[in-house]
Structure 1
Amino acid sequence: MPMQAEDIETMIREAIPDAEVTITDLAGDGDHYAAHVVSESFRGQSRVNQHKAVYAALGGRMGGVLHALQLTTAVPTS
């Protein structure tokens, strides 16, 4: 069963409380999403570690319930 965008956003915000999260359904199938996550907690972390934090928030659903996630992460710019 596909994941809903709201569920993905909720899981990320629960794990990274200060995150600004934007989820886009890329294919309209509930299986291919893009996520843009901005968090102060990413400051000083490598991009790889930022992505690992987001994947950890999804609790192992990548590759199973959630087939594809185009992920971009950033720190706040002001």
Structure 2
Amino acid sequence: MAMAADEIAALIRQSIPDASVEITDLAGDGDHYAARVVSESFRGLPRVRQHQRVYEALGGRMGGVLHALQLTTATP
């Protein structure tokens, strides 16, 4: 079963409340998304740690319910 874009965004915002989140369905199938997550809380963190925080917010759904996520993180 695929995940909806708004569900992905809500999970990220729940874990990273100040985040600005943009989700794009890349294939129109609900399985392949791109996410741009901008958060002040990323400041000073290496990119790998920023991405880990987003994956943690998804609570283990990567590779299961959510097949692919092209992730971009940034600070404002």
1:2 aligned residue: 2
2:33 aligned residue: 33
- 1:28-48: CA deviations, max 9, x gaps? 000000000000000000000
What is the TM-score with the length of structure 1 in the denominator? Answer: 0.97
Q: Matched residue of 2:53: which SS?
A: helix
Show structure 1 runs of 4+ deviating over 3 A. none
* Counterpart Cα distance in 2 of 1:37 and 1:6: 14
Asked if 1:61 is matched to 2:61, the reply is yes
Q: Please, what is the CA RMSD of the aligned residues?
A: 0.2
* Counterpart Cα distance in 1 of 2:52 and 2:28: 25
Identity of aligned residues (%): 75
C-alpha deviation, 1:61, in angstroms: 0.2
C-alpha deviation, 1:66, in angstroms: 0.2
* Counterpart Cα distance in 2 of 1:42 and 1:36: 13
Q: AA paired with 1:32? A: H
What is the TM-score with the length of structure 2 in the denominator? Answer: 1.00
- 1:50-73: CA deviations, max 9, x gaps? 000000000000000000000000
Aligned residues: 76
